[in-house]
Amino acid sequence: MKKLRVLIVVVCMMAAANFASADIIRGIGMDFVTIGNAGNGTDPATGNLYGAVSSNYRIGKYEVTAAQWQTINTAAGIGDSGYWSGNQPTAAISWYDAAQFCNYLTSGNKYSGAYKFDISGNFQVIDRVSSISTYGTTYVIPTEDEWYKAAYFKSNASGYSTFANGTDTAPVAGVNSNYNMAIGSPWNITNGTVEQNGTFDMMGNVWEWNETLIDGSNRGVRGGSFLYYDYFLRSSNRTTYVPPYYVLDDVGFRVASVPEPCSIALLLIGGLALRNRKR
């Protein structure tokens, strides 16, 4: 038990430091960074609307690639073939497609996970709690707050920046970030410059779906794309008009993972301690 407690402390210290980890899931490898500083406040620059997240979580270091999409789509039979190829980010993926991708990572069934679909494939509701209870680690589309925090909350927990590079100065198009048609298409996900919390391309490349319901049935997208100028990379930009069934060649997504390993470990040690007390 003592060794387990030491392991928990190490895992939680790593989580607080936004450490990187990799999962092999349903035949694909995905890299994540842990976003710590649970219970952070909202960004005053947004009128204190966005960025507060009550627990630690992990978010994809990179956008989901076209190759990853094709592997899971073939196995799960999701539908849309997507756009771009290889290590470019996938795009022309609807919000429903992204949700089924995450479900398949979680459960091996595109209709079972945090996103509930009926047997005909009609979306019903989001229920992260029941998914975590059933499957443990649950893969999801990041909420707007989760996405916003990973992009703009400074790694030293001192507040928020305008851009995901940790500053209020736009990155250089085609060098640090891919926007304003500097390249003319999305570049491979490992190109560009690592951002303040360990991610790549939360500025540009492709827009990214958020889980959050914004307006009626619409879901938000964040981060800009290779097509648009640097205004769309800013924390102040909030795009709210995208219906969840839209497929656009500059809209993709990245995956988040909840709960992160420290939370799972704490639940484990708590369960073991309770079991020992009952003996």
Look at residue 275 in the predicted model and tell me its pLDDT.
41
Contact by Cβ (8 Å): 228, 210: no
Look at residue 272 in the predicted model and tell me its pLDDT.
36
> Could you give the C-alpha distances from 88 to 183, 189, 244, in angstroms and in order?
12, 6, 22
Boundaries of domain holding 225? 2-278
Specify which residues 115 forms β-bridges with. Answer: 126
- Name the residue type at position 219: R
Q: Check which CATH number belongs to the domain holding 264 and give it.
A: 3.90.1580.10
Q: pLDDT 10s digit of each residue in the chain, 279 long?
A: 554 444 444 445 555 556 688 999 999 999 999 999 999 999 999 999 999 999 999 999 999 999 999 999 999 999 888 999 999 999 999 999 999 999 999 999 999 999 999 999 999 999 999 999 999 999 999 999 999 999 999 999 999 999 999 999 999 999 999 999 999 999 999 999 999 999 999 999 999 999 999 988 899 999 999 999 999 999 999 987 799 999 999 999 999 999 977 765 544 444 434 344 444
Specify which residues 140 forms β-bridges with. Answer: 256
Rounded (10°) angle between helices 2-16 and 261-278: 160
Q: Count how many domains the chain has.
A: 1
Look at residue 66 in the predicted model and tell me its pLDDT.
98
Number of neighbouring beta carbons within 10 Å of residue 11: 19
